[in-house]
Chains A and B, each alone.
Chain A
Amino acid sequence: MSTSATDVEQTVIGFLTTIEKLPEAFGPSTSLYAGGAGLDSLETAELSAILEDTHGADPYSAGEMPQTLAEIQAYYAANSA
């Protein structure tokens, strides 16, 4: 899958849906952690693995700690060829 903002959004929303943590009003600026989707460290680790498997790289493995979907999308935008 490509690293376009749409594809990355699809991956993140798909993951949050699977683990039943997709907030009703989820959007690019919703926190992925406390006060938003509420991901814990293991779920974040899982998201990191899914992003890597789906898009070939992930911001967490690159040492970043994105807080929102928008920041994940920004990582791919900044690192796309």
Chain B
Amino acid sequence: MFELIRRVAEDDPDRVGLATHERSWTYAELRDAALSVAAWLRAERVARLAVADFEADVVVPVLAGASLVGAEVTQYPPDDASVIEDLVERFDHDVVVTDRRDLGHVAARLVAPSEVLGAASAEIGTPPEERPHLVLTTGTTGAPRGVRHDWSRLVRGVARVAPVQDERWLLAYGLHQFAGLQVLLHVYAAGATLVAPAPRRPVEGLEAMRALGVTHASATPTYWRFLLARARSDGRGLPDLRQVTLGGEAIPGPLLAELAEAFPHAGISQVYAASEFGSTGSMRDGRAGLSVDVLDRGDEADVDMRIVDGELWIRTRSGMLGYYGEPPVDADGWRATGDLVEVEGDRIVFRGRSSEVINVGGVKVHPLPIEERVGSVPGVDMARVFGRPNAMTGAIVALEIVAAPGADEAEVTRAVKAACADLVPAARPRSIRFVDDVATTGGKIIRRQP
């Protein structure tokens, strides 16, 4: 991470590496801040720390400085103090960098970002061989787990990124998310500019696109749907992006078409990545799913995939080393992804997560294809399909709809039922509700019920 920033800082020190609505930081400033962090970590003999600050101008230098001296950083999610308290205990953190005033009860040494970033820089020398990094999962399946990575393996994933000068990438993910880290690595491997609004919701993202000259953006399909809906409702139009990237969730074909229409001059890519197995590259052909060419590439390939009983398995050389507090895994071995897929022609099509399948009276129903249908109905801005517990059938397919402004709910309901009429009876939505917003976590729709 540090070496990516330093390389650009040496070639072009005044190039802007980070921009917010408030100010910009050059690559040289980011490098110097990272050196201060590294010096502070060395002087204080801190080998592991957490960050509970969400501003990119703090997180970026802390990550870079820690990667230089081999200190393990964990970026916490923007949560309540009680959650932070639990995380400190669960992940044995003794040091938390934060300027939050509500963390006084946390059982760790709280250090202000100004102290870490303001330390006098010193000669650091060669980075150690092991440079750990810990990413927390979103915890949708229970308590979050710590996914152990190493910077050398992470940086390997962006080794082929071509240098550029004029790309301005929107940071639409939290930096506590693996996807946020991927954007960071890509931006600094390319020598581009990271545009980091706060908070990182679609409404702020859209404003940052308009005000801060964003040219490239990577976000979840859910984020893009919200952003498009927001742009439609405020009527102020969309910026002329050059690149639209999607990842983190299965991507509906209709959304790809909608994005292609909304951003006519943008390349549209899909990234398939996860905290556990890292990034596997991108699909740039504008079609949903992955090419079957990714399957069975052989032992020499950096990324290889196979399908086992309808589930995608993967082997990468940039994946995790294991989970915090658990025995190490075979980092280069095969892993089940939890993604259920089918091969249609030359395409691997995602059907949903194995954990999201709805069992309706013994019939397994995938929520994604239903969401795709409903999402295409005029008057529907967003749709969420999930299993609702039911005494008769164990579960029924439940549907939440965010209606487009001015849409007639009764009319939309009739249209949705007509759109689903040819599904097998178990897959037809039996509970339809109109809501202002659908439940999300980390920019992804929550389809699993508690």
A72, chain B: closest CB distance, angstroms: 14
Interface hit among B151-159, B177-185, B220-228, B425-433: B425-433
B417, chain A: closest CB distance, angstroms: 9
Do A48 and B361 have beta carbons less than 8 Å apart? no
Q: How many A-B residue pairs have CB under 8 A?
A: 42
C-alpha spacing A19/B439, complex, angstroms: 29
Of B361, B388, B428, B431, the contact of A41 (CB 8 Å cutoff): B361
Chain B residues with Cβ below 8 Å from A50 are 431
Of A41, A46, A60, most buried by chain B (CB within 10 Å of CB) is A46
Chain A residues with Cβ below 8 Å from B425 are 40, 42
Is A61 part of the binding interface, using a Cβ–Cβ cutoff of 8 Å? yes
C-alpha spacing A46/B360, complex, angstroms: 12
Is A49 part of the binding interface, using a Cβ–Cβ cutoff of 8 Å? yes
Question: Which residues of B from 405 to 450 have beta carbons under 8 Å from A?
Answer: 425-426, 428, 430-431, 433
Is A53 part of the binding interface, using a Cβ–Cβ cutoff of 8 Å? yes
Q: Mark B131-165, 1 if CB is under 8 A from A, else 0.
A: 00000000000000000000000000000000000
Is B392 part of the binding interface, using a Cβ–Cβ cutoff of 8 Å? yes
Do A60 and B431 have beta carbons less than 8 Å apart? no
Chain B residues with Cβ below 8 Å from A61 are 390-391
Contact-residue bracket for chain A: 10 to 19
Is B396 part of the binding interface, using a Cβ–Cβ cutoff of 8 Å? yes
C-alpha spacing A42/B393, complex, angstroms: 7
Is A63 part of the binding interface, using a Cβ–Cβ cutoff of 8 Å? yes
Of B392, B428, B433, the contact of A48 (CB 8 Å cutoff): B392
Do A49 and B388 have beta carbons less than 8 Å apart? yes
Do A42 and B361 have beta carbons less than 8 Å apart? yes
Chain A residues with Cβ below 8 Å from B430 are 42, 45-46, 49
Q: Mark A33-58, 1 if CB is under 8 A from B, else 0.
A: 00000001110111011100100000
A5, chain B: closest CB distance, angstroms: 22
Chain A residues with Cβ below 8 Å from B392 are 41-42, 44-45, 48, 60
Of B360, B388, B390, most buried by chain A (CB within 10 Å of CB) is B390
A55, chain B: closest CB distance, angstroms: 15
Given known contacts A41-B392, A45-B396, A53 and B431 CB-to-CB distance under 8 angstroms: yes
Chain A residues with Cβ below 8 Å from B361 are 41-42, 45
Do B426 and A42 have beta carbons less than 8 Å apart? yes
B409, chain A: closest CB distance, angstroms: 14
C-alpha spacing A6/B428, complex, angstroms: 29
Do B391 and A60 have beta carbons less than 8 Å apart? yes
Nearest A residue to B424 via CB reads: A42
C-alpha spacing A60/B392, complex, angstroms: 7
C-alpha spacing A61/B388, complex, angstroms: 12
C-alpha spacing A36/B394, complex, angstroms: 25
Do A48 and B360 have beta carbons less than 8 Å apart? no
Nearest B residue to A49 via CB reads: B431
C-alpha spacing A61/B398, complex, angstroms: 16
Nearest B residue to A19 via CB reads: B417
C-alpha spacing A44/B394, complex, angstroms: 12
Nearest A residue to B396 via CB reads: A45
C-alpha spacing A53/B430, complex, angstroms: 12
Chain B residues with Cβ below 8 Å from A42 are 360-361, 392-393, 396, 425-426, 428, 430
Question: Which residues of A from 55 to 74 have beta carbons under 8 Å from B?
Answer: 60-61, 63
C-alpha spacing A45/B361, complex, angstroms: 10
Chain B residues with Cβ below 8 Å from A63 are 391
Chain A residues with Cβ below 8 Å from B398 are 49
Nearest A residue to B428 via CB reads: A42
Do A46 and B396 have beta carbons less than 8 Å apart? yes
Q: Which residues of A come within 8 Å of B, CB atoms?
A: 40-42, 44-46, 48-50, 53, 60-61, 63
Q: 6 nearest interchain CB pairs?
A: A45-B392, A46-B430, A49-B431, A45-B393, A60-B391, A45-B390
Given contacts A41-B361, A45-B396, A60-B390, 6 further A-B contacts (CB under 8 A): A42-B396, A45-B393, A46-B431, A49-B388, A49-B390, A50-B431
6 contacts between A and B (CB under 8 A): A41-B361, A41-B392, A42-B360, A45-B391, A48-B390, A50-B431
Q: Which residues of B come within 8 Å of A, CB atoms?
A: 360-361, 388, 390-393, 396, 398, 425-426, 428, 430-431, 433
